[in-house]
Protein backbone atom coordinates (compact mmCIF):
# COMPACT_ATOMS: atom_id res chain seq x y z
CA UNK A 1 0.00 0.00 0.00
CA UNK A 2 1.59 3.21 -1.14
CA UNK A 3 1.29 6.37 0.86
CA UNK A 4 0.98 9.86 -0.56
CA UNK A 5 4.12 11.04 1.19
CA UNK A 6 7.25 10.80 -1.00
CA UNK A 7 9.80 8.30 0.23
CA UNK A 8 13.40 9.60 0.29
CA UNK A 9 16.71 7.83 0.68
CA UNK A 10 17.54 6.67 4.17
CA UNK A 11 20.28 8.57 5.95
CA UNK A 12 22.55 5.51 5.93
CA UNK A 13 22.32 5.32 2.13
CA UNK A 14 22.90 9.05 1.76
CA UNK A 15 25.97 8.90 4.00
CA UNK A 16 27.40 5.94 2.06
CA UNK A 17 26.86 7.74 -1.26
CA UNK A 18 28.34 10.92 0.21
CA UNK A 19 31.45 9.05 1.39
CA UNK A 20 31.87 7.52 -2.06
CA UNK A 21 31.36 10.86 -3.82
CA UNK A 22 33.88 12.62 -1.58
CA UNK A 23 36.43 9.86 -2.16
CA UNK A 24 35.80 10.00 -5.90
CA UNK A 25 36.22 13.77 -5.95
CA UNK A 26 39.45 13.69 -3.94
CA UNK A 27 40.75 10.85 -6.12
CA UNK A 28 39.97 12.84 -9.28
CA UNK A 29 41.91 15.83 -7.95
CA UNK A 30 44.82 13.56 -7.02
CA UNK A 31 44.76 11.97 -10.48
CA UNK A 32 44.82 15.41 -12.14
CA UNK A 33 47.76 16.54 -10.01
CA UNK A 34 49.59 13.28 -10.71
CA UNK A 35 48.99 13.69 -14.44
CA UNK A 36 50.49 17.19 -14.40
CA UNK A 37 53.45 16.04 -12.29
CA UNK A 38 54.31 13.09 -14.56
CA UNK A 39 53.91 15.25 -17.65
CA UNK A 40 56.28 17.85 -16.19
CA UNK A 41 58.84 15.24 -15.09
CA UNK A 42 58.92 13.66 -18.53
CA UNK A 43 59.24 17.09 -20.14
CA UNK A 44 62.14 18.05 -17.87
CA UNK A 45 64.09 14.90 -18.81
CA UNK A 46 63.32 14.90 -22.51
CA UNK A 47 66.94 16.02 -23.32
CA UNK A 48 68.32 12.80 -21.87
CA UNK A 49 65.94 10.58 -23.78
CA UNK A 50 66.33 12.33 -27.15
CA UNK A 51 70.17 12.75 -27.18
CA UNK A 52 72.01 11.67 -30.47
CA UNK A 53 75.47 10.06 -30.81
CA UNK A 54 78.53 12.21 -31.94
CA UNK A 55 79.97 11.17 -35.29
CA UNK A 56 83.67 11.47 -36.38
CA UNK A 57 84.94 12.33 -39.80
CA UNK A 58 85.61 8.72 -40.66
CA UNK A 59 81.94 7.83 -39.99
CA UNK A 60 82.89 5.87 -36.85
CA UNK A 61 80.60 6.75 -33.98
CA UNK A 62 82.23 7.82 -30.76
CA UNK A 63 80.95 7.51 -27.33
CA UNK A 64 79.26 10.60 -26.01
CA UNK A 65 75.91 12.27 -26.42
CA UNK A 66 74.90 15.77 -27.38
CA UNK A 67 71.56 17.26 -26.50
CA UNK A 68 69.05 17.67 -29.22
CA UNK A 69 69.00 21.25 -30.47
CA UNK A 70 67.28 23.00 -33.33
CA UNK A 71 69.33 22.79 -36.55
CA UNK A 72 70.81 26.15 -37.70
CA UNK A 73 71.45 27.00 -41.37
CA UNK A 74 75.18 26.43 -42.16
CA UNK A 75 76.85 29.53 -43.68
CA UNK A 76 80.42 28.37 -43.15
CA UNK A 77 80.86 30.52 -40.06
CA UNK A 78 78.69 28.47 -37.62
CA UNK A 79 79.56 25.05 -36.38
CA UNK A 80 76.87 22.53 -35.40
CA UNK A 81 75.98 18.93 -35.57
CA UNK A 82 76.04 17.16 -38.81
CA UNK A 83 72.88 16.39 -40.79
CA UNK A 84 72.74 12.71 -39.72
CA UNK A 85 72.78 13.79 -36.04
CA UNK A 86 69.90 16.19 -36.67
CA UNK A 87 67.83 13.46 -38.28
CA UNK A 88 68.53 11.05 -35.39
CA UNK A 89 67.47 13.71 -32.91
CA UNK A 90 64.22 14.35 -34.78
CA UNK A 91 63.43 10.61 -34.84
CA UNK A 92 64.22 10.33 -31.14
CA UNK A 93 62.03 13.35 -30.38
CA UNK A 94 59.10 11.85 -32.29
CA UNK A 95 59.52 8.56 -30.45
CA UNK A 96 59.67 10.41 -27.16
CA UNK A 97 56.39 12.16 -27.91
CA UNK A 98 54.80 8.78 -28.65
CA UNK A 99 56.31 7.30 -25.49
CA UNK A 100 55.10 10.22 -23.42
CA UNK A 101 51.57 9.87 -24.80
CA UNK A 102 51.54 6.11 -24.10
CA UNK A 103 52.75 6.64 -20.52
CA UNK A 104 50.19 9.35 -19.78
CA UNK A 105 47.34 7.42 -21.38
CA UNK A 106 48.27 4.29 -19.40
CA UNK A 107 48.55 6.35 -16.23
CA UNK A 108 45.10 7.89 -16.72
CA UNK A 109 43.42 4.61 -17.72
CA UNK A 110 44.83 2.49 -14.92
CA UNK A 111 44.26 5.25 -12.38
CA UNK A 112 40.61 5.63 -13.43
CA UNK A 113 40.03 1.90 -13.07
CA UNK A 114 41.70 1.87 -9.66
CA UNK A 115 39.77 4.95 -8.61
CA UNK A 116 36.45 3.40 -9.65
CA UNK A 117 37.13 0.18 -7.72
CA UNK A 118 38.26 2.10 -4.63
CA UNK A 119 35.18 4.34 -4.90
CA UNK A 120 32.96 1.25 -4.68
CA UNK A 121 35.01 0.05 -1.72
CA UNK A 122 34.56 3.49 -0.13
CA UNK A 123 30.78 3.27 -0.59
CA UNK A 124 30.72 -0.18 1.01
CA UNK A 125 32.90 0.96 3.91
CA UNK A 126 30.77 4.09 4.26
CA UNK A 127 27.62 1.93 4.43
CA UNK A 128 29.21 -0.20 7.17
CA UNK A 129 30.53 2.77 9.17
CA UNK A 130 27.22 4.64 8.85
CA UNK A 131 25.34 1.55 10.03
CA UNK A 132 27.51 1.28 13.13
CA UNK A 133 27.17 4.99 13.81
CA UNK A 134 23.39 4.98 13.39
CA UNK A 135 22.70 1.74 15.27
CA UNK A 136 22.10 3.63 18.51
CA UNK A 137 19.88 6.09 16.67
CA UNK A 138 17.69 3.15 15.60
CA UNK A 139 17.34 2.29 19.28
CA UNK A 140 15.99 5.78 19.98
CA UNK A 141 13.57 5.52 17.03
CA UNK A 142 12.27 2.11 18.11
CA UNK A 143 11.73 3.38 21.66
CA UNK A 144 9.88 6.46 20.41
CA UNK A 145 7.51 4.22 18.42
CA UNK A 146 6.63 1.98 21.36
CA UNK A 147 6.59 4.47 24.22
CA UNK A 148 3.27 5.13 25.92
CA UNK A 149 1.96 6.15 29.32
CA UNK A 150 2.24 2.54 30.57
CA UNK A 151 5.99 2.11 29.92
CA UNK A 152 7.36 5.55 30.73
CA UNK A 153 9.61 3.91 33.31
CA UNK A 154 11.72 2.32 30.55
CA UNK A 155 15.04 3.97 29.69
CA UNK A 156 17.33 3.72 26.66
CA UNK A 157 20.61 3.92 28.64
CA UNK A 158 22.68 4.23 25.45
CA UNK A 159 26.30 3.16 25.66
CA UNK A 160 29.20 4.21 23.49
CA UNK A 161 31.19 7.37 22.89
CA UNK A 162 29.91 10.65 24.28
CA UNK A 163 28.79 12.04 20.93
CA UNK A 164 25.63 13.71 19.63
CA UNK A 165 23.70 10.40 19.50
CA UNK A 166 24.58 9.64 23.14
CA UNK A 167 23.45 13.15 24.04
CA UNK A 168 20.16 12.55 22.18
CA UNK A 169 19.59 9.29 24.07
CA UNK A 170 20.30 10.92 27.44
CA UNK A 171 17.94 13.78 26.57
CA UNK A 172 15.25 11.26 25.59
CA UNK A 173 15.71 9.44 28.91
CA UNK A 174 15.42 12.70 30.82
CA UNK A 175 12.21 13.52 28.94
CA UNK A 176 10.77 10.09 29.80
CA UNK A 177 11.62 10.70 33.44
CA UNK A 178 9.76 14.00 33.46
CA UNK A 179 6.75 12.47 31.72
CA UNK A 180 6.75 9.52 34.11
CA UNK A 181 6.71 11.84 37.12
CA UNK A 182 3.96 13.98 35.56
CA UNK A 183 1.74 11.00 34.74
CA UNK A 184 2.40 9.47 38.14
CA UNK A 185 1.46 12.71 39.86
CA UNK A 186 -1.80 12.89 37.89
CA UNK A 187 -2.70 9.30 38.73
CA UNK A 188 -1.90 9.79 42.42
CA UNK A 189 -3.92 13.00 42.46
CA UNK A 190 -6.96 11.26 40.93
CA UNK A 191 -6.66 8.35 43.36
CA UNK A 192 -6.14 10.57 46.40
CA UNK A 193 -8.91 12.98 45.44
CA UNK A 194 -11.33 10.13 44.79
CA UNK A 195 -10.43 8.50 48.09
CA UNK A 196 -10.84 11.74 50.03
CA UNK A 197 -14.23 12.45 48.43
CA UNK A 198 -15.72 9.10 49.39
CA UNK A 199 -15.99 9.95 53.11
CA UNK A 200 -17.89 13.26 52.83
CA UNK A 201 -20.19 11.80 50.18
CA UNK A 202 -20.96 8.82 52.41
CA UNK A 203 -21.70 11.17 55.31
CA UNK A 204 -23.90 13.28 53.07
CA UNK A 205 -25.85 10.24 51.90
CA UNK A 206 -26.28 9.04 55.48
CA UNK A 207 -27.49 12.46 56.57
CA UNK A 208 -30.16 12.34 53.88
CA UNK A 209 -31.22 8.72 54.34
CA UNK A 210 -31.72 8.75 58.14
CA UNK A 211 -34.35 11.51 58.40
CA UNK A 212 -36.02 10.20 55.25
CA UNK A 213 -36.24 6.69 56.66
CA UNK A 214 -37.45 7.90 60.07
CA UNK A 215 -40.20 10.00 58.51
CA UNK A 216 -38.91 13.26 59.90
CA UNK A 217 -38.98 15.00 56.52
CA UNK A 218 -42.07 17.03 55.60
CA UNK A 219 -43.97 15.79 52.59
CA UNK A 220 -43.25 18.93 50.60
CA UNK A 221 -39.49 18.43 51.09
CA UNK A 222 -39.37 14.71 50.27
CA UNK A 223 -38.99 15.17 46.47
CA UNK A 224 -36.03 17.50 47.01
CA UNK A 225 -34.40 15.16 49.54
CA UNK A 226 -34.88 12.16 47.24
CA UNK A 227 -33.42 14.12 44.33
CA UNK A 228 -30.42 15.13 46.44
CA UNK A 229 -30.00 11.50 47.52
CA UNK A 230 -29.96 10.32 43.89
CA UNK A 231 -27.39 12.98 43.04
CA UNK A 232 -25.25 11.85 45.97
CA UNK A 233 -25.44 8.23 44.85
CA UNK A 234 -24.43 9.26 41.36
CA UNK A 235 -21.48 11.22 42.77
CA UNK A 236 -20.42 8.17 44.77
CA UNK A 237 -20.50 6.06 41.62
CA UNK A 238 -18.42 8.68 39.82
CA UNK A 239 -15.85 8.80 42.61
CA UNK A 240 -15.65 5.00 42.76
CA UNK A 241 -15.18 4.89 38.99
CA UNK A 242 -12.43 7.52 39.12
CA UNK A 243 -10.67 5.59 41.85
CA UNK A 244 -10.94 2.38 39.84
CA UNK A 245 -9.65 4.20 36.74
CA UNK A 246 -6.61 5.45 38.68
CA UNK A 247 -5.92 1.93 39.98
CA UNK A 248 -6.28 0.55 36.46
CA UNK A 249 -3.78 3.06 35.11
CA UNK A 250 -1.26 2.23 37.83
CA UNK A 251 -1.41 -1.44 36.89
CA UNK A 252 -1.22 -4.57 39.03
CA UNK A 253 0.98 -4.50 42.11
CA UNK A 254 1.58 -8.23 41.64
CA UNK A 255 0.67 -10.80 39.01
CA UNK A 256 -1.56 -13.75 39.83
CA UNK A 257 -2.51 -16.46 37.40
CA UNK A 258 -6.23 -16.35 36.69
CA UNK A 259 -8.68 -17.60 34.08
CA UNK A 260 -10.70 -15.04 32.13
CA UNK A 261 -13.38 -17.70 31.58
CA UNK A 262 -14.26 -17.74 35.28
CA UNK A 263 -14.18 -13.94 35.54
CA UNK A 264 -16.44 -13.55 32.50
CA UNK A 265 -18.83 -16.19 33.84
CA UNK A 266 -19.13 -14.32 37.13
CA UNK A 267 -19.78 -11.05 35.27
CA UNK A 268 -22.54 -12.65 33.20
CA UNK A 269 -24.18 -14.08 36.35
CA UNK A 270 -24.11 -10.61 37.93
CA UNK A 271 -26.07 -8.97 35.10
CA UNK A 272 -28.14 -11.94 33.96
CA UNK A 273 -31.28 -10.84 35.84
CA UNK A 274 -31.02 -7.29 34.49
CA UNK A 275 -30.62 -8.68 30.96
CA UNK A 276 -33.72 -10.88 31.43
CA UNK A 277 -35.76 -7.90 32.63
CA UNK A 278 -34.79 -6.04 29.47
CA UNK A 279 -35.66 -9.01 27.28
CA UNK A 280 -32.05 -9.67 26.26
CA UNK A 281 -30.89 -13.18 25.40
CA UNK A 282 -27.38 -13.97 26.65
CA UNK A 283 -25.34 -16.78 25.08
CA UNK A 284 -21.90 -17.81 26.30
CA UNK A 285 -18.99 -19.97 25.20
CA UNK A 286 -16.33 -20.02 27.90
CA UNK A 287 -13.11 -21.67 26.76
CA UNK A 288 -10.06 -21.70 28.99
CA UNK A 289 -8.19 -18.41 28.88
CA UNK A 290 -5.40 -18.44 31.50
CA UNK A 291 -3.62 -15.13 31.97
CA UNK A 292 -1.68 -13.27 34.68
CA UNK A 293 -2.50 -10.04 36.43
CA UNK A 294 -4.69 -8.50 39.12
CA UNK A 295 -7.85 -10.66 39.35
CA UNK A 296 -9.90 -7.77 40.76
CA UNK A 297 -9.02 -5.44 37.90
CA UNK A 298 -9.45 -8.16 35.26
CA UNK A 299 -12.85 -9.06 36.71
CA UNK A 300 -13.80 -5.39 36.43
CA UNK A 301 -12.90 -5.55 32.72
CA UNK A 302 -15.36 -8.39 32.14
CA UNK A 303 -18.02 -6.78 34.34
CA UNK A 304 -17.81 -3.41 32.60
CA UNK A 305 -18.05 -4.97 29.14
CA UNK A 306 -21.07 -7.08 30.07
CA UNK A 307 -22.71 -4.16 31.85
CA UNK A 308 -22.11 -1.93 28.83
CA UNK A 309 -23.58 -4.61 26.53
CA UNK A 310 -26.71 -4.90 28.71
CA UNK A 311 -27.40 -1.23 29.30
CA UNK A 312 -26.72 -0.06 25.76
CA UNK A 313 -28.77 -2.72 24.04
CA UNK A 314 -31.86 -2.56 21.89
CA UNK A 315 -34.10 -5.25 20.41
CA UNK A 316 -33.07 -6.55 17.02
CA UNK A 317 -35.20 -7.51 14.03
CA UNK A 318 -36.76 -10.35 16.05
CA UNK A 319 -37.84 -7.96 18.78
CA UNK A 320 -35.24 -9.21 21.25
CA UNK A 321 -31.79 -8.00 22.09
CA UNK A 322 -28.92 -10.42 22.37
CA UNK A 323 -25.43 -10.62 23.88
CA UNK A 324 -22.72 -13.14 23.13
CA UNK A 325 -19.77 -13.56 25.52
CA UNK A 326 -16.88 -15.87 24.59
CA UNK A 327 -13.41 -16.55 25.97
CA UNK A 328 -10.53 -18.67 24.69
CA UNK A 329 -7.00 -18.73 23.44
CA UNK A 330 -5.72 -16.71 20.49
CA UNK A 331 -2.49 -16.01 18.64
CA UNK A 332 -1.92 -13.03 20.94
CA UNK A 333 -2.51 -15.12 24.08
CA UNK A 334 -6.06 -15.19 25.41
CA UNK A 335 -9.09 -13.14 24.50
CA UNK A 336 -12.47 -12.06 25.84
CA UNK A 337 -15.07 -11.16 23.23
CA UNK A 338 -18.38 -9.43 23.96
CA UNK A 339 -20.90 -8.91 21.13
CA UNK A 340 -24.16 -7.10 21.65
CA UNK A 341 -27.06 -5.81 19.60
CA UNK A 342 -28.01 -2.19 19.99
CA UNK A 343 -28.31 1.15 18.26
CA UNK A 344 -26.25 2.00 15.20
CA UNK A 345 -22.81 3.30 16.11
CA UNK A 346 -20.83 5.57 13.83
CA UNK A 347 -17.55 3.75 13.04
CA UNK A 348 -15.70 7.07 13.35
CA UNK A 349 -16.97 7.37 16.92
CA UNK A 350 -15.85 3.95 18.14
CA UNK A 351 -12.38 5.05 19.28
CA UNK A 352 -13.86 7.99 21.18
CA UNK A 353 -15.99 5.62 23.28
CA UNK A 354 -12.86 4.70 25.28
CA UNK A 355 -12.19 8.30 26.30
CA UNK A 356 -13.20 9.28 29.85
CA UNK A 357 -16.73 10.70 30.19
CA UNK A 358 -17.44 10.16 26.50
CA UNK A 359 -20.71 8.50 25.56
CA UNK A 360 -22.19 7.93 22.16
CA UNK A 361 -25.16 9.84 20.87
CA UNK A 362 -27.59 7.04 21.65
CA UNK A 363 -26.16 6.66 25.15
CA UNK A 364 -26.56 10.37 25.83
CA UNK A 365 -30.18 10.24 24.67
CA UNK A 366 -30.77 7.17 26.82
CA UNK A 367 -29.23 8.96 29.80
CA UNK A 368 -31.81 11.74 29.50
CA UNK A 369 -34.64 9.28 29.98
CA UNK A 370 -32.86 7.25 32.66
CA UNK A 371 -32.13 4.07 30.66
CA UNK A 372 -28.37 3.93 31.26
CA UNK A 373 -28.53 2.76 34.85
CA UNK A 374 -26.61 5.75 36.18
CA UNK A 375 -23.68 5.40 33.81
CA UNK A 376 -20.96 8.00 34.31
CA UNK A 377 -19.14 7.37 31.02
CA UNK A 378 -16.03 5.72 32.51
CA UNK A 379 -16.77 2.03 31.95
CA UNK A 380 -14.81 1.57 28.71
CA UNK A 381 -12.12 3.98 29.90
CA UNK A 382 -11.51 1.71 32.89
CA UNK A 383 -11.39 -1.31 30.58
CA UNK A 384 -8.83 0.45 28.37
CA UNK A 385 -6.67 1.44 31.36
CA UNK A 386 -6.65 -2.04 32.89
CA UNK A 387 -5.94 -3.79 29.59
CA UNK A 388 -3.07 -1.40 28.78
CA UNK A 389 -1.52 -1.82 32.24
CA UNK A 390 -1.60 -5.62 31.76
CA UNK A 391 0.18 -5.42 28.40
CA UNK A 392 -2.91 -6.28 26.41
CA UNK A 393 -4.86 -4.80 23.54
CA UNK A 394 -8.49 -3.90 23.04
CA UNK A 395 -10.34 -3.62 19.73
CA UNK A 396 -13.87 -2.42 19.12
CA UNK A 397 -15.89 -2.60 15.93
CA UNK A 398 -19.33 -1.23 15.08
CA UNK A 399 -21.71 -3.90 13.75
CA UNK A 400 -23.68 -3.20 10.58
CA UNK A 401 -26.77 -4.61 12.32
CA UNK A 402 -26.27 -2.24 15.24
CA UNK A 403 -24.31 -2.58 18.46
CA UNK A 404 -20.64 -3.30 19.12
CA UNK A 405 -18.12 -6.11 19.14
CA UNK A 406 -15.40 -5.56 21.76
CA UNK A 407 -12.42 -7.92 21.89
CA UNK A 408 -9.88 -7.85 24.72
CA UNK A 409 -6.58 -9.65 24.10
CA UNK A 410 -4.22 -10.38 26.99
CA UNK A 411 -0.90 -12.20 27.22
CA UNK A 412 -1.18 -15.85 28.20
CA UNK A 413 -0.19 -16.90 31.70
Query: When comparing pLDDT for 295 and 80, which is higher?
Result: 295
Rounded to whole angstroms, the Cα distance separating 100 from 372 reads 100
Band the pLDDT of 361: cuts 50, 70, 90: low
- Whether 264 maps to a domain, the answer reads yes
pLDDT for 235-287, tens place per residue? 877 777 777 777 776 777 778 899 999 999 999 999 999 998 888 999 999 99
Position 66 pLDDT exceeds 60: no
Band the pLDDT of 376: cuts 50, 70, 90: low
Closest CA to 408 of 349, 348, 354, 361: 354
Same domain flag for 270 and 398:
yes
**Buried b vs exposed e over 206-232: b needs ≥16 C-beta within 10 Å?**
eebeeebeeeebeeeeeeeeeebbeeb
Same domain flag for 256 and 405:
yes
Around 176, how many Cα atoms within 13 Å sit in the side-chain half-sphere? 21
Position 71 pLDDT exceeds 50: no
Closest CA to 50 of 100, 7, 88: 88
Same domain flag for 280 and 131:
no
Closest CA to 322 of 297, 339, 307: 339
Same domain flag for 124 and 268:
no
Same domain flag for 256 and 141:
no
- Alpha carbon 126 to its chain's center: 26
State how far the alpha carbon of 211 is from the alpha carbons of 217, 222, 227, 234, in Å. 6, 10, 14, 20
Query: What mean pLDDT, rounded, does the chain reach?
Result: 79
pLDDT of residue 266: 93
Contact 148, 249 (CB under 8 A): no
Same domain flag for 266 and 402:
yes
Band the pLDDT of 69: cuts 50, 70, 90: very low
pLDDT for 184-196, tens place per residue? 777 777 777 777 7
State how far the alpha carbon of 67 is from the alpha carbons of 40, 79, 285, 321, 346, in Å. 18, 15, 111, 117, 101
pLDDT for 320-353, tens place per residue? 789 999 999 988 889 999 999 988 888 878 888 8
Return the percentage of the chain with pLDDT > 70, whole number. 81
- End-to-end Cα, the chain, rounded Å: 36
- Whether 324 maps to a domain, the answer reads yes
| 306-330 average pLDDT score | 85
Query: When comparing pLDDT for 224 and 369, which is higher?
Result: 224
pLDDT of residue 375: 56
Q: Which helix (H) or strand (E) holds 260?
A: helix 260-277
**Most confident residue range from 84-98, 246-260, 368-382:** 246-260
DSSP secondary structure of 92-140: HHHHHHHHHHHHHHHHHHHHHHHHHHHHHHHHHHHHHHHHHHHHHHHHH
In the chain, how many domains are there? 2
| 91-100 average pLDDT score | 78
Contact 249, 390 (CB under 8 A): no
Contact 275, 304 (CB under 8 A): no
DSSP secondary structure of 204-242: HHHHHHHHHHTT-S-TTTHHHHHHHHHHHHHHHHHHHHH
pLDDT of residue 320: 78
pLDDT for 29-44, tens place per residue? 988 998 888 888 887 7
- Whether 336 maps to a domain, the answer reads yes
Same domain flag for 130 and 275:
no
DSSP secondary structure of 317-378: TTS-EEEEEEEEE-SSSEEEEEEE--S---GGGTGGGGSTT---HHHHHHHHTT-SSS--S-
**At 359, which CATH number?**
3.30.565.10
Same domain flag for 123 and 272:
no
Domain boundary among the residues 102, 130, 146 is at: 146
Domain boundary among the residues 115, 146, 177 is at: 146
- Whether 328 maps to a domain, the answer reads yes
pLDDT of residue 111: 87
Q: Which helix (H) or strand (E) holds 172?
A: helix 164-213
- Whether 392 maps to a domain, the answer reads yes
Band the pLDDT of 51: cuts 50, 70, 90: low
pLDDT for 100-149, tens place per residue? 888 888 888 888 888 888 889 888 888 888 888 788 888 888 888 877 76
Rounded to whole angstroms, the Cα distance separating 180 from 167 reads 20
- Whether 193 maps to a domain, the answer reads no
Beta bridge partners of 65: 53
Q: Which of 92-106, 146-160, 224-238, 320-334 has the lowest mean pLDDT?
A: 146-160
Query: When comparing pLDDT for 351 and 7, which is higher?
Result: 351
pLDDT of residue 49: 57
| 305-313 average pLDDT score | 90
Return the percentage of the chain with pLDDT > 90, whole number. 15
17, 23, 26, 28 alpha-carbon torsion, rounded to 10°: -80
What's the full length of the chain, in residues? 413
- Whether 305 maps to a domain, the answer reads yes
Same domain flag for 256 and 127:
no
Band the pLDDT of 3: cuts 50, 70, 90: very low
What residues make up the domain containing 32?
A: 11-53+81-146
Q: Which helix (H) or strand (E) holds 170?
A: helix 164-213
Band the pLDDT of 58: cuts 50, 70, 90: very low
Same domain flag for 259 and 139:
no
- Whether 327 maps to a domain, the answer reads yes
Rounded to whole angstroms, the Cα distance separating 81 from 391 reads 102
Domain boundary among the residues 106, 122, 146 is at: 146
Q: Which of 202-206, 259-263, 266-270, 361-365 has the lowest mean pLDDT?
A: 361-365
Band the pLDDT of 54: cuts 50, 70, 90: very low
Q: What is the DSSP letter of 163?
A: S
Same domain flag for 138 and 259:
no
pLDDT for 171-181, tens place per residue? 888 888 888 88
Amino acid sequence: MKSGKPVGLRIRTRLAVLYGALFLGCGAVLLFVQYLAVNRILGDHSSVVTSAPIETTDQTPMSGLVPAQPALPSDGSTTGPSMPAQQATAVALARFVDFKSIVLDALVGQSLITLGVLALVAVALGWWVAGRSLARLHTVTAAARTISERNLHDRLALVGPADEIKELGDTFDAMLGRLDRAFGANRRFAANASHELRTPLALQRTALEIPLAEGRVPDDLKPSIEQALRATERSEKLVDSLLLLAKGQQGPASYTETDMAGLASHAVDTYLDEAAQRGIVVTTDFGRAPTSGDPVLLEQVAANLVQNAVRHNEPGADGRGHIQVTTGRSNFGVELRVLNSGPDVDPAEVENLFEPFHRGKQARLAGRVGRTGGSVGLGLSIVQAVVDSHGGRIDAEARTEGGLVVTVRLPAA
